[in-house]
Each structure stands twice: as C-alpha cells, then as structure tokens.
Amino acid sequence: MIQRLAEKFDELAQLKAGWLDGRGTAPDAENLKNIAQILTNCYPEHLPLPTIVPAPDGNLLLEWNANGDPSMEIDLGNMTASFHAFGPNGEDVEAKFPLRGVEDDRDVESLFAFLSAHLPHS
C-alpha cells in the first residue's frame, strides 16, 4: 500500500511547469517531498488509499471512493490540508489542518484521527 503512495509521489515530482496543455504549475518540490514523507510514513493501514491528482495551481487533490465523496486539497504553498465531504444528511463536513511536517506529530495525528473518523475502514 505504501509503495503505491511512494510511486505516485515519484510521478508527481516529475511534473514540470506547463504539464497541463502548456499550463499547470509544477508542485513545489520541497513541500511535495514533505507531504510525501507524511503520507508514506504515517498513513494508517486501516484507511483506503486516496487517488492523488495534481491541481493546475500546483497543489494536490486527494479523493476517496466512498460515501459522501470525501476529498482533501493539500495547499503546498502554505502546507495545509482542507477536507470536504457530504454527511449522511447532505450537510457539509469540512476541516482544515496545518501540515508542518513529520516532526510535528500533533498535526499528523490530528489529521489522521479525523480521517479515521470520517472515512470507511478496510
């Protein structure tokens, strides 16, 4: 599982400016490396893996194939993760998390505790 995450981040690291039909900002290399380290080192095994796609603005979008269409945008400029899903009654479920890096366990623990509460377990 972690190997698939690592491979995806290796692909993302290869993106260059203009990757999207001449447009598209390449992800910030250092911050992408930090996010890759957080996800590959800390992602809980009981959670399903997201699909990770680059956004035209240089950020990342993580999407899970689950009820409520959960997704999370990772802003590589300010190192934050913004989660969104639809709750059982159609209400918005939203949360924002700072991602200062693996060395700040509180950020990572808080993010993954939230995901564990809001995503199906395998």
pLDDT tens digits, 2-47: 899 999 999 999 999 999 999 999 999 999 999 999 999 999 999 9
pTM of the entire predicted model: 0.92
CB-CB contact of 43 with 35 (8 Å): no
Tell me the domain boundaries of the chain: 2-118
